[in-house]
Structures are given as structure tokens and as C-alpha cells.
Amino acid sequence: SCVPDRANLCSNLSLATTTVQNHSTSSNIDFSFRKLTLDGYLSFDNIHHAAKDFGNTYHLHPLAVLYPKSVFDISSTIKHIFHMGSASQLTVAARGHGHSLQGQAQADQGVVVNMMSLREPVMQVHTDGSPYVDVSGGELWVEVLKETLKHGLTPKSWTDYLHLTVGGTLSNAGISGQAFLHGPQINNVYQLEVVTGKGDVVTCSEKQNADLFYGVLGGLGQFGIITRARISLKPAPKMVKWIRVLYSEFSKFSKDQEHLISLENSFDYIEGFVIINRTGILNKWRSFFNPKDPLGASQFNWDGKIYYCLEMAKYFNPEDTNIMNEKTESLLSKLSFIPSTRFQTDVSYFNFLERVHMSDKKLRKGVWDVAHPWLNLLIPKSKISDFAREVFGKIIKDSSNGLILIYPVNKWKWNMNTSFVAPNEDIFYLVGFLTSAVPASTGTDGLEYIITRNQRILDFCTRANLGTKQYLPHYSTQKEWQAHFGPKWELFVQRKYAYDPLAILAPGQRIFQKSI
């Protein structure tokens, strides 16, 4: 619980609808900012994009947007606000690529830092010993991939979509089909440079300022702005065998997923998704994947049931094709999927990692600008069947209009010293309901219906005591945040007090409120 002098920091939160008021008027603030000497600039006009994100349901306008050219710009701006103390209600939000879902990168009448304009350090790949790359916190992961591939190297752990910034995903976790093997992206970082909520520029790692290092990783932007990250690398493969197979029984599907993530020498990527009421998907796959058994696939009777798709990838170089094929066949021979539903293709490593962006190009032609009431949950292995039965079988049934991701990871591969919180079991599943709302619809594809449905899922998890955690968490009261962090809450509050005592940073997460 909170100690008295942290009372303001820990005060109960209402949803942020505040505006700059009382102590200082916005024109005073505007004037005082104009005295700052910056390498980049602060804009009071070009600010509207900063009130929008991928979720498209929260629209909080900042007072100004900082376009930093240097770390110094970020540090000076935060110091300036810090020294105003409680005379101002100004807050600061780093904005990566704005792919948050509920305004997490927004700052109501505060300053948004446009991290993508921070062009330093220039990316530098170090190939000796344990290779790594130093990148700006505002760099997109796709650019990191392009640069490291020039040296035959690659980061180990990814997100499904690469047009997210390094600082944005490291503030959450960065989870994809490699996380069962390498842990999430936050476990594959050697060092960070961070600007704290007091404006101090601090280098941190496991050995140096470790408390800040672990706090910032998965720390939802609460303790500092990541301005540089040193990311560990490994040799990059040239090619990927990408395979999808279907199951009609959840128990067989999850058993096979768990089996694959338990092996020493398994696939390099393992994910899965649920297909509800999506007749015709096999026809779509045919344009991209090749059926292993064309006749069987063409005769497959799509009867509108729920299917579970296991998605796997094996990395290889062309000279090792035969060995890779043998290994792949051996792994697949132990699985219980429906034989005629095996689809596969060989693609370049780059195209495999960019796969979502390729379909995203189509997405942008219409559905990108709609609301995205996504829900991401982490479910303990022992409860995943209960979850599937109730949620896929009853709550979702025929109302699904988006992708439902589902795959397990090994917690022992994850460093739990970070701020990230996971369920209390060795294996847990990531389940993502990636739904788009159809504008103005009052039906099952409308925003209101989907939000209610998400709430039903959350209510079920609580009622059935499943021990789930939200990923990319979103809460409206501090009590819920406290429950989310559980035993880590006390440390989280201590770190906030140490590194951002005025609660200036990342107000859009709605965990702490700036004390005035």
C-alpha cells in the first residue's frame, strides 16, 4: 500500500479528461517553452496526429508536440516541466508509432514526444563476440531488421507486426511466435539509455543501474523514456518454411502446441489461431500456401465448425534444405492435425517477418481507420481448456469478425525481473482478440457490442478464477492496477517515486496521476 508522502501519486484515478487549468495558463506555458534551446523543435500547431492511435477510441489533444533531434531535447523539456513542479499539470508522453489501443501514448494538454524524429544514435551493428545493434528508441523494428540483415544478423525475438518502435514494444514486452524459445523482446536487450521523469539521462543494464533497467523493460513508460537500446543479435537465416495445419478439437491442438514448445530442437516460430465461422478461408490460403495434399484439401468439408490453426515456421539456408525438410517432417509426424489441411510455402526471412505489413497494405484501404477494441490476455496452461470451452464455444460463437491468436510460451525463458507481469504458471498462453469495429454498426460487428463482449470475457476470467493477466493492460482504477501487478505493485510504486516522483511520464496509461 502507499506511504503517506506518496499519497498523491497513489490517489485513485478517474479516466483522464483533465485540461490544463488553474496554476498556469497555456499561454504562459507556451511562452516559457519558447525560451528552451533545442536541437529539434516544439510545435503547438502540428499536434493533431498525437491525439490519435490505432485503437481509435481515445482522442486527447496535447498542448504541444516535441520533435526531438537529440536526447538533450527530451532531457531539457522534461527538466523544464519537472522544475515547474506542482505549479503545472503538464505531463509528457513518448509516442512511438502510436499503435496503442486506448490512448496510452497520449497526453491530455501535455507534451507528446514524437520519438520517430529522434534520429540518434545512427544505427550501428557490432558483429564481434556477442553481436548487437545500438538503435534509437524511436526506430521502427522493420528498419532494425533491414540494417542488421546487411550484416547477416537479426534480432532474435519479434512482434507479429514490425512497424512498431523499439521503445514502444520494450515498454510492453514484444511477443510473437519466437517468444517460447527466446523470451519476449524485453529479454533480448543488453543496455538502455533512458531519460527519467526528472530529466536525467541514465545508461542502464543488468550490471549498471539494474533497478531502472528492469523497471523500464515492460514498465509501460512509467519510469523513463527509452532513447537508445542495445539489442542482441544472432545469425540470420535466408529462408523460412511456413506451415499451417488445422484441428477440429481444441485438446489435440493445444497438446501439440505444448509438445512443440517443450522440445529442444523444435520449430523456430510457433503460433496459432482460432477460426470461427469463416468459411472460405482455405480458398484464401490457396492463393498463398500450397496444399501438401491438393486432392484431400479440395475435398475438405468445411462445415462451419470452429477450427484451430497451428502455424509453424522453420528457418533455413538454401544449402540446408534437405536437412530442414527431414527435421520438419519428423516434427510434423508426431502431430495430430487433420492430414488434408496441411498448407505450406517457402518465403524469404524478411518477407516472413513482414507478413502482417503485407496484409496491412490491404487493411489500410478501408479498415485501418476504424476503432480496434482489441483484447489481449495471458492465460495459465492449466486453465486454457476451461477458457476455450466458455469463450470460443459460448461467448464468441458466431460473432467473431477478427483474428483470434492463441499460442503458449515457456515462462522459464522469460526474465521475470522486468516490470512485465505474467500468470503464475510455467507455461501460459497469449490469446489476442484482434477485432475491428464496423463504423456506426449496431450489430455484432459494432463497437458497443465488441466492448461488451470483451467485458464478458474478462468477467468470465474473474468469475472462474482463471488467474489471467492482461497484456497491453488497460484499467480505469488504481485498485485494478494494483491487482494486475500483484506482488510487483509495491516495487512498481517505489520505482515511480524514485524515477518519476511528480508522475510526469506516460499519463495515458492511467496508473498514476500527476500531483498538483
Q: Which of 80, 99, 372, 474 is catalytic?
A: 99
CB count, 10 Å around CB of 42? 20
Taking the complex as a whole, how short is the minimal distance between the CB of residue 192 and ligand FAD, in angstroms? 9
Rg over alpha carbons for the chain, rounded to the nearest Å, is 23
**Strand pairing partners for 403?**
434
Minimum distance, C-beta of residue 348 to ligand FAD, in the bound complex (Å): 20
Least separation in angstroms between residue 308's CB and ligand FAD is 19
Give residues in contact with ligand FAD (CB under 6 A): 53-54, 93-100, 104-105, 115, 137, 159-161, 164-165, 167-169, 171-176, 220-221, 225-226, 472, 506, 508-509
Give the shortest CB-205-to-ligand FAD separation in angstroms: 16
CA distance 212 to 499: 8
| Minimum gap (Å) between residue 304 Cβ and ligand FAD | 28
Cβ atoms of 222 and 506 closer than 8 Å: yes
| Coil vs helix vs strand at 214 | helix
**CB-based contacts of 455-464 (< 8 A; 24+ apart in sequence):** 456/395, 457/375, 457/377, 457/391, 457/395, 457/433, 458/375, 460/390, 460/391, 460/395, 461/377, 461/379, 461/387, 464/383, 464/386, 464/390
Q: State how far the Cα of 121 lies from the Cα of 134, in Å rounded to an integer.
A: 7
Q: To the nearest whole angstrom, how small is the minimum distance from the Cβ of residue 139 to ligand FAD?
A: 9
Is 360 a catalytic site residue?
no
Out of 134, 271, 311, 500, the active site residue is 271
| Per-residue exposure over 364-403, b if at least 16 CB sit within 10 Å of its own CB, e if not | eeeeeeebbbbbbbbbbbebbeebbebbbeeebeeebbbb
30 carries an active-site annotation = no
Cβ-closest position to ligand FAD: 167
Is 329 annotated as catalytic?
no
Three state DSSP letters for 97-128: CCCCCCCCCCCCCCEEEEHHHCCCCCCEEECC
Q: Which sequence positions are flagged as catalytic?
A: 99, 160, 271
